[in-house]
């Protein structure tokens, strides 16, 4: 039931549910009222206490519903379309078609109650242009993952010379383009024929140089790591996160106890690749199926050792991994030993912290972003409740079924020139550039938002040509601070 209260302040919405999971607590809280002002949570009341604020605004009653934070997935690929051939489809698409598919993937996530995603591998930095859009989840972007020439996911555009100098340059380029996190492929992977999941891709000192360069420039690093050696090297290099952590060997799986202890002791965030939607006729590849029992057992050992673990689903890489798959992760997390509330925290507040957004995402508390999910029933006792969505708010705006229409914005009409894509993808448009048809006629301040040139302030050349941007990147231009 929706009641509109007329008043002078306006802009306030009060959500009234039966229960609240606030993202951090051990249990549900009865009779909550969450007051949203604009894009932020202004007040949270419970147990019949009446908020002071909504003397004006809208009260939305959701009887029988539990309010919880919008979900957070720390590992997605918007550029992969969750088909049986995501890599082939990506290769067949022109860049504007890739952007269109990424937008649709983001909207699918949002319609599934996922209000924050971390894209850990896009194509040519295209995910950076999707940040800040009202019709998508909040996007944390890694750009193309850094890999070896011909290595895992090299086709995404992030191959670097496997030397200390080469990888430092690659990290700098990512920083200049404006990524939020550096993703590095420490081992091979399943999506790339010819790459070896059981082997490290970079020498240890090169991995160390990558982490050192990223940390020096203020960015965290997460490493895709299947091979035991890749996991050990990444831990030794000082990464902030590890993805997959399958302890893959040529013959099977081998997780050394001291390595598990080290991952837990350093509180390295492990993205466990959990969450799957069963699809009839689809089975994991034999090499994965054969190793699965041991991989699950090792994940349980990591949990028992106190590892910081999140679902990190890898959404987009297969039909069993649609872009809203993280709401299917809690049952698997519980199999690993998570309590029901811990499983929900792992896809809300803990995941937000892993994305670097723990100060404003993943909790229902005053001052946090109004990313709110309402589901039928009790998602702590019954994980299936996450499939019964009643309402979704993203930064205070209700998400409707119709979301998914609308224009794609300037990036959709831009052909691929690497520099053009990079600039368009960070919101910067060429002044009069012929490649960007839609930008013509509505040219913005060309330096207004480009992190390549502007960073968060500092040097602002009056006019920079694309070749100068390339030159600046190649020269190792200092980031303005
Ligand atoms: Zn991935």
| Any domain includes 454 | yes
**Angle formed by the axes of helices 204-216 and 228-237, to 10°?**
40
Spatial CB neighbours of 176, under 8 Å, sequence gap ≥ 6: 451, 452, 472, 473, 477, 479
Regarding whether 346 and 366 lie in a shared domain, the answer is no
Query: Sorting pLDDT into bands at 50, 70 and 90, what band is 106?
Result: very high
78 and 62, same structural domain?
no
- The tens digit of pLDDT for each residue in 124-165 reads 999 999 999 999 999 999 999 999 999 999 999 999 999 999
pLDDT for res 64 = 96
Q: Is the pLDDT of residue 241 over 90?
A: yes
From residue 309, how far is each of 267, 313, 463 by CA, in Å?
9, 12, 46
* One domain, residues 317 and 421: no
CATH number at residue 77: 3.20.20.140
What residues pack around ion ligand 1 (CB closer than 5 A)? 314
Give the Å distance between the CA of 121 and the centre of ligand 1.
Answer: 7
Rounded to the nearest whole angstrom, what is the distance from the C-alpha of residue 432 to the centroid of ligand 1?
37
pLDDT of 219: 98
> Percent of the chain, pLDDT > 90?
74
Rounded average pLDDT over 103-124: 97
Asked if residue 57 and residue 129 are part of one domain, the reply reads no
Q: Which of 378, 401, 424 is the last residue of a domain?
A: 401
The tokens of 216 are what?
């020096």
For residue 234, pLDDT beyond 60? yes
| Of the listed ranges 11-15, 111-115, 346-350, the one predicted with least confidence | 11-15
Q: How many angstroms is it from 333 CA to the middle of ligand 1?
A: 19
Q: Give yes or no: residues 52 and 184 share one domain.
A: no
pLDDT at 272: 97
Please give the angle made by the CA atoms of 64, 70 and 72, to the nearest 5 degrees.
140
Instruction: Find out whether 191 and 87 touch, Cβ atoms under 8 Å.
Output: yes
Structural domain includes residue 409: no
DSSP 445: P
Residues above pLDDT 70, as percent of the chain = 80
Structural domain contains residue 125? yes
The answer to whether position 62 is within a domain reads yes
Out of 9-13, 339-343, 407-411, the most confident range is 339-343
Instruction: Note whether residue 408 is domain-resident.
Output: no
Name 276's Cβ contacts closer than 8 Å, sequence gap at least 6. 320, 321, 325, 328, 332
pLDDT score for 413: 26
**What does the pLDDT read at residue 376?**
97
Whether residue 118 is found in the same domain as residue 60: no
Longest dimension (CA), the chain: 69
Distance 284 CA to ligand 1 centre (A): 16
User: Given this model, what pLDDT does residue 284 score?
Assistant: 86
Q: Give CA–CA dist 289/190, Å, rounded.
A: 13
Mean pLDDT, the chain, rounded, equals: 84
Q: Mapping DSSP to helix (H, G, I), strand (E, B) and coil, where does residue 25 land?
A: coil
**What distance in angstroms lies between residue 425's CA and the mean position of ligand 1's atoms?**
21
CATH of the domain at 380: 2.30.40.10
- Number of C-beta neighbours around residue 343 at 10 A: 24
* Intra-chain end-to-end CA distance of the chain, in Å: 49
Calculate how far, in angstroms, residue 293's C-alpha sits from the geometric centre of ligand 1: 21
Distance from Cα 326 to the centre of ligand 1, integer Å: 14
**CA dist., res. 1 & res. 402, Å (int):** 20
Q: So what's the pLDDT on residue 481?
A: 24
Confidence of residue 13 (pLDDT cuts 50, 70, 90): very high
What confidence tens digit (pLDDT) does each residue in 362-387 have? 999 999 999 999 999 999 999 999 99
Residues 287 and 318 in one domain: yes
pLDDT of residue 457 exceeding 50, the answer is no
Is residue 427 over pLDDT 50? Answer: no
- Is residue 369 situated within a structural domain? yes
**Is the domain of 198 the same as that of 284?**
yes
The answer to whether residues 209 and 321 belong to one domain is: yes
Write the pLDDT tens digit of every residue in 331-340.
Answer: 999 999 999 9
Q: Are residues 444 and 428 in the same domain?
A: yes
pLDDT at residue 68, rounded to an integer: 98
Q: What is the pLDDT at residue 195?
A: 82
275 plus 169 within the same structural domain: yes
Exposure on the CB side of residue 306, measured as CA atoms within 13 A = 6
429 to 152, 220, 223, 425, 437: CA distances (angstroms): 31, 28, 32, 9, 10
Q: What is the sign of the dihedral through the CA atoms of 63, 64, 68 and 72? A: negative
Query: Is position 35 within any domain?
Result: yes
Count of domains in the chain? 3
- In terms of domains, do 437 and 347 share one? no
Q: 76 C-alpha vs ligand 1 centroid, how far in Å?
A: 6
Has residue 407 been placed in a domain?
no
Of the three residues 319, 338, 355, the one that is the final residue of a domain is 355
Place of tokens 């200390």: 164
* Residue-number span of the structural domain to which 439 is assigned: 414-481
Average the pLDDT over 207-212 and give the result: 98
CA of 160 to the centre of ligand 1 (A): 18
Ligand 1: centre distance to CA 176 (Å): 22
Given this model, what pLDDT does residue 53 score? 54
Percent of the chain that is helix, strand, coil (3-state, to 5): 30, 20, 50
Phi, then psi, of 186 in degrees rounded to 5: -75, -25
């Amino acid at each position: 039931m929706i009641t509109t209260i007329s008043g002078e302040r306006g802009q306030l919405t009060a959500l009234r549910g039966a229960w609240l999971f606030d993202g951090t607590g051990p249990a549900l809280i009865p009779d909550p009222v969450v007051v949203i002002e604009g894009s932020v949570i202004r007040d949270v009341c419970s147990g019949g206490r009446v908020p002071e604020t909504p003397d004006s605004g809208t009260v939305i009653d959701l009887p029988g519903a539990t309010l919880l934070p919008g979900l957070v997935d720390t590992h997605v690929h918007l550029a992969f379309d969750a088909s049986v051939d995501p890599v082939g489809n990506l290769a067949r698409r022109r860049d504007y078609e890739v952007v269109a598919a990424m937008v649709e993937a983001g909207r699918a996530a949002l319609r599934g109650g996922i209000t924050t995603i971390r894209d850990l591998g896009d194509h040519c930095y295209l995910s950076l242009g999707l940040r800040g859009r009202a019709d998508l989840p909040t996007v944390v972007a890694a750009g193309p993952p850094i890999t070896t020439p011909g290595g895992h996911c090299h086709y995404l555009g992030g191959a670097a010379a496997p030397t200390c100098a080469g990888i430092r340059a690659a990290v700098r380029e990512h920083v200049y383009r404006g990524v939020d996190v550096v993703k590095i492929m420490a081992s091979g992977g399943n999506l790339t024929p010819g790459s070896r999941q059981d082997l490290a891709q970079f020498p240890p000192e090169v991995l160390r140089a990558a982490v050192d360069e990223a940390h020096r420039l203020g960015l965290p690093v997460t490493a895709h790591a299947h091979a035991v050696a890749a996991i050990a090297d990444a831990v030794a290099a000082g990464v902030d996160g590890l993805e997959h952590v399958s302890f893959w060997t040529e013959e099977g799986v081998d997780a050394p106890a001291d390595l598990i202890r080290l991952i837990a002791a350093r509180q390295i965030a492990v993205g466990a690749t959990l969450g799957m939607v069963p699809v009839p006729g689809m089975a994991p590849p034999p090499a994965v199926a054969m190793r699965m029992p041991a991989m699950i057992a090792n994940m349980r050992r990591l949990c028992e050792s106190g590892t910081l673990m999140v679902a990190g689903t890898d959404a987009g890489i297969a039909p069993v991994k649609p872009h809203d798959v993280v709401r299917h992760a809690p049952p698997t997390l519980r199999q690993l030993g998570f309590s029901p509330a811990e499983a929900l925290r792992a896809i809300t507040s803990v995941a937000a912290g892993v994305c670097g957004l723990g100060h404003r995402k993943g909790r229902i508390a005053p001052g946090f972003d109004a990313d709110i999910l309402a589901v039928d029933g009790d998602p702590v006792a019954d994980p299936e409740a996450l499939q019964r969505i009643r309402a979704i708010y993203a930064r205070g705006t209700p998400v409707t079924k119709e979301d998914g229409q609308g224009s794609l914005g300037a990036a959709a009409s831009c052909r691929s020139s690497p520099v053009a894509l990079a600039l368009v993808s960070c919101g910067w448009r060429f002044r009069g550039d012929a490649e960007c048809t839609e930008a013509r006629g509505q040219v913005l301040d060309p330096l207004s938002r480009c992190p390549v040139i502007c960073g968060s302030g500092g040097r602002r050349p009056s006019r920079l040509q694309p070749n100068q941007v390339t030159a600046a990147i190649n020269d190792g231009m200092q980031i303005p601070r």
